[in-house]
Structure 1
Amino acid sequence: MSLIENSTTCLGGLTNNSYMFECEGEQYILRSPGNRTGEYIDRQAEALNAKIAYDCGLGPEVVYCDADSGLMVTRFISGATTPGGDDLKHPAMLRRVVDTIKTLHNKGAVLSGHFDPFKTIERYVTYLKKRGGETPRNFDPALIKAQSIRQALESSQRAPTACHVDMVPENFLDTGERIYLLDWEYAGNGDAFWDLAMLSIEAAFEGDDDKRLLEMYLGEPPRAADAGRLFLYKIVCDLVWTPWAAIQTVNGNRKLDYWSYATERCDRALNMMERAEFEHQLRAVQR
């Protein structure tokens, strides 16, 4: 690229900064990684997975990527909007999002790296301790209680599939004709239900919303084991993002009050495990 024009700051993510710019009449997005993110994110894997996503028609074109620095340039997708959490509760929009997720899961693509949420928790906690940080007070009791979830999920393992992992609404880009998935930093091969749980918890889905999500994804009414798997993974989602958020605190990320974010995630996970239905959902998955 020889000439950059009209550089403007775009809406950034929770950790990175993004800038839109023009070059020779074309628009692009420059992603500049957040402080120290390369210490706990595999940028080599991200580069490969972002290119695989583009090849599958699911991600924007990667024009340039430097895995060492974390800098990435993608082609700007014109006329696209990001749906909000409430938008995803509308059946028509949810159907389009679910179809996009199913395309990813059923494409047969093999991503770089394996995503295991419990090993990810362990890795985040190890990194956090090295940085002199700490987790919220309730995190250790929550993690101990969650070992029953780990056993239930591992005893009913499903074949790994390509997973985006970070299914927050902000990572959907809707052109009206298709939906793109942005931000492949955490992607890897794992349990498809993780992506469904992430979508559910980030869009604030509840009982009827979850049932609709599963019916659309499965193409039939969900079995008790399916509903249970989604419920358990929603708990694990919060447990993964608790130490992640604590890392943001110790690394000086000021985009949010990340300590409150970590505490709220942890408390929500613990509250879900204290609900009367928790044991029922465990048994449903283990059957």
Structure 2
Amino acid sequence: MAVPEVLDRIPLLSGVPRSVEELPGGLTNHNYKVTTPSGEYVVRVSASDGALLAIDRDAEHANSAAAAAAGVGAPVLDYLPELGVLVVGFLPGRTFTEEDLRDPANLPRVAAACRRLHAGPRFVCDFDMFDVQRRYLEIVLERGFRLPEGYLEFMPQVAQIQKCLEIRAEGTVPCNNDLLPGNIIDDGERLWLIDYEYSGNNDACFELGNIWSESDLPTGHLEELVTAYFGHRLRNKIARARLLGLMSKYGWTLWASIQDGANDSIDFDFWSWGMEKYERAVAEFTSSGLAGLMDEAVRAD
């Protein structure tokens, strides 16, 4: 369906003067900023098979509303599941870049935004990268999608990491789970977190480790982010976030494999994107420091 037809199906945007601007980014959606006399809105139109990627659009809608209630997400204004459309308010501000996350002055601000989200209403679903990675692997193998060379060789280490992290598990909180720089908006005073496709209740340290992993930040930045989040330096939490950041790279590699094999509606080199993550994961899996990280994660600080 053409974009004007989609907009005509949205009561808020139908029958009024409007201008439409396609927003950059979005690897599973097409995003449009729509301006009318009454305000500015973002219309997100699904552009991939959400089921393959473990995306539940109903959960995304509910969790987006919960994030808005927590004061950290955009207001949710409409949802048309039959069209794969979610309408939220436009948040004026500047989209973060990796350079913003490399600025240590921004790390306490990111931590504060995460704390607001994590202290908000529980989400309607859970997210566990160990489970997601296994589901992705089943899809890749069943459908014959490309699998990076040597990928399966690291599954024993994955099992060890999962068992290690279960020892000091402290429950879950509502997490975005996909805080790429482009999903952080700076309005000049505070940060907002957007895009809840992969949201779910999760270990807070996954959120922090995923931020570190997605932007390939220095290890010291992760230590500062975790310290700002918890209020003081905790070696076991830093190690936990590093291990979950490793699982982030390993799991999202298969997300890229699925997108590479199944998504022809978005012009993007998913395979190269995933291989960059995989190569960094391999470096950590084969590092002499992995055993030490697991030891740190299970110790009382």
Which TM class, normalised by the smaller chain length? over 0.9
Which amino acid in structure 2 is aligned with residue 119 of structure 1? D
Q: Which amino acid aligns with 2:130?
A: F
Decide which moves more: 153-162 or 229-238. Answer: 153-162
Between the aligned partners of 1:211 and 1:110, the Cα distance in structure 2 is 27
- What is the root-mean-square deviation in Å for CA atoms of aligned residues? 1.7
Task: From 100, 103, 112, give the equivalent of 1:87.
Answer: 100
The SS at the match of 1:29 is strand
The 1:82/1:188 distance shift into structure 2, 3 A limit, reads: same
Q: State the 1:72 CA deviation.
A: 0.8
Verify: 1:243 aligned to 2:257, yes or no. no
Distance 1:56 1:207 in 2: 29
SS at match of 1:30: strand
Aligned counterpart for 1:57 among listed residues 71, 77, 80 = 71
CA contact (8 A) 1:5 1:23 kept: yes
What SS does the corresponding residue of 1:20 show, helix, strand or coil?
A: strand
Stretch moving more, 242-251 or 266-275? 266-275
Instruction: Count how many residue pairs are aligned between Structure 1 and Structure 2.
Output: 284
Q: Distance in 2 between matches of 1:132 and 1:198?
A: 27
* Matches for 1:129-168 after TM superposition, within 5 Å: 129-168=141-180
TM-score for the superposition, normalised by structure 2: 0.89
Q: Does 1:123 align with 2:135?
A: yes
Normalised by the size of structure 1, how large is the TM-score?
Answer: 0.93
Query: Contact conserved, 1:5 with 1:21, CA < 8 A, in 2?
Result: yes
User: Partner letter of residue 162 of structure 2?
Assistant: R
Query: Structure 1 residues 158, 88: CA separation in 2 closer, same or farther (over 3 Å shift)?
Result: same
Misfit runs of 4+, over 6 Å: none
Q: Which amino acid aligns with 1:252?
A: N
Aligned counterparts of 2:75 and 2:95: Cα–Cα separation in 1: 18
Pair 1:285 & 2:279 matched? no
Q: Percent identity?
A: 28
Once the two structures are TM-superposed, the CA of residue 119 in structure 1 deviates from its matched residue by: 0.6
Residue matched to 1:74: 88
Q: Which residue of 2 aligns with 1:18?
A: 31
- Which residue does 2:263 correspond to in 1? 252
Alignment-derived partner of residue 226 in structure 1: 237
1:4, distance to aligned residue in structure 2 (A): 4.8
Alignment match, 1:209: 221
Partner residue of 1:46 out of 31, 49, 60: 60
Q: Distance in 1 between matches of 2:43 and 2:202?
A: 28
Contact 1:193 1:233 in 2 (8 A): yes
Q: Do the aligned residues in 1 keep the contact of 2:140 with 2:257 (CA within 8 Å)?
A: yes
Alpha-carbon distance, 1:38 to partner: 4.4
1:103-143 residue CA offsets vs partner (Å, 9 max, x unmatched): 11223x21011111111111222233444323212211122
Map 1:178-189 onto structure 2 (within 5 A): 178-189=190-201
Within 2, Cα distance between the matches of 1:155 and 1:212? 24
- Kept in 2, the 8 Å contact 1:85–1:202? The answer is no
Instruction: Give the superposition deviation at 1:154.
Output: 1.8
